A and B are shown apart, each in its own frame.
Chain A
Amino acid sequence: MWANAYLEQARSDWKMRSLMEENSAADCHCLHYLQMATEKLAKAALLRGRAKPEDLRRSHKAFVRFLRSSAKNPSLRQTFGLSARQLQESINGILPIAAEVERLVPGRDQLGPNAEYPWETPSGEVKVPASYAFPVAEELRGPQGRKLLSLISVILDRFDTFF
Chain B
Amino acid sequence: MEGKPIILLVEDDLDSASDYKEDIEALIDVTVIAVAPPVDLLDLIALVNELNASAVILDERLQQLSDATYAGIDAFGYLRSAFPRLPVDILTAYPPGLELKGRGLHVENLVRKRDLDEDEEFKRSYLQELYQRIGRYRQRQDERHELMTASDTVTKEFVESLAQLHFEADDGIEQIIWVRSGDEKEICLIEVNRTALPTESIQVFRFAPSEDVPFRIFIADVRPTEWERIQSGDIPLPEGWALEEAQIFRRSEVLPERREDVG
- The interface of chain A, by Cβ under 8 A from chain B, is 45-46, 48-51, 55, 61-62, 64-66, 68-75, 78, 81-90, 92-93, 142-143, 147, 160-163
Contact with A along B169-213 (1 / 0, CB 8 A): 110000000000000000000000000110101011111101111
Tell me the bound Cα distance from A64 to B196 in angstroms.
10
Q: Are the C-beta atoms of A51 and B46 separated by less than 8 Å?
A: no
- Please, could you name 16 A-B residue pairs with CB atoms under 8 Å apart, sorted by A? A48-B206, A50-B238, A50-B239, A66-B205, A70-B205, A72-B170, A73-B207, A75-B207, A75-B210, A84-B165, A86-B83, A87-B169, A88-B170, A89-B78, A143-B41, A162-B208
Closest chain A residue to B214, Cβ basis: A74
Does B126 lie at the interface of the complex (its beta carbon under 8 Å from any beta carbon of A)? no
Tell me the bound Cα distance from A74 to B208 in angstroms.
8
Contacts of B60 in A (CB 8 A): none
Q: On chain B, which size bracket covers the interface?
A: 35 or more
Q: Are the C-beta atoms of B210 and A74 separated by less than 8 Å?
A: yes
Q: Are the C-beta atoms of B208 and A50 separated by less than 8 Å?
A: no
Q: Are the C-beta atoms of A72 and B208 separated by less than 8 Å?
A: no
Tell me the bound Cα distance from A49 to B181 in angstroms.
13
Q: Are the C-beta atoms of A90 and B45 separated by less than 8 Å?
A: yes
Tell me the bound Cα distance from A55 to B40 in angstroms.
39
CB distance from B170 to the nearest CB of A (A): 6
Contacts of B208 in A (CB 8 A): 75, 160-163
Tell me the bound Cα distance from A86 to B164 in angstroms.
15
Closest chain B residue to A58, Cβ basis: B201
Does B168 lie at the interface of the complex (its beta carbon under 8 Å from any beta carbon of A)? yes
Tell me the bound Cα distance from A74 to B203 in angstroms.
19
Top 6 nearest A-B pairs by Cβ distance?
A84-B169, A49-B204, A74-B210, A49-B206, A75-B210, A85-B263
Q: How many A-B residue pairs have CB under 8 A?
A: 109
Q: Are the C-beta atoms of B82 and A85 separated by less than 8 Å?
A: yes
CB distance from B134 to the nearest CB of A (A): 20
Do A78 and B210 form a contact, CB below 8 Å, given A50-B238, A55-B201, A71-B170? yes
Tell me the bound Cα distance from A88 to B206 in angstroms.
17
Q: Are the C-beta atoms of A65 and B169 separated by less than 8 Å?
A: no
Tell me the bound Cα distance from A50 to B212 in angstroms.
23
Contacts of B81 in A (CB 8 A): 85, 89, 92
Do A84 and B203 form a contact, CB below 8 Å, given A68-B197, A161-B208? no
Do A86 and B197 form a contact, CB below 8 Å, given A72-B219, A160-B208? no
Contacts of B40 in A (CB 8 A): 143, 147
Does B248 lie at the interface of the complex (its beta carbon under 8 Å from any beta carbon of A)? no
Does B158 lie at the interface of the complex (its beta carbon under 8 Å from any beta carbon of A)? no
Does B69 lie at the interface of the complex (its beta carbon under 8 Å from any beta carbon of A)? yes
Closest chain B residue to A158, Cβ basis: B208
Q: Are the C-beta atoms of A71 and B169 separated by less than 8 Å?
A: yes
CB distance from A140 to the nearest CB of B (A): 14
Tell me the bound Cα distance from A64 to B211 in angstroms.
26
Closest chain B residue to A55, Cβ basis: B201
CB distance from B176 to the nearest CB of A (A): 11
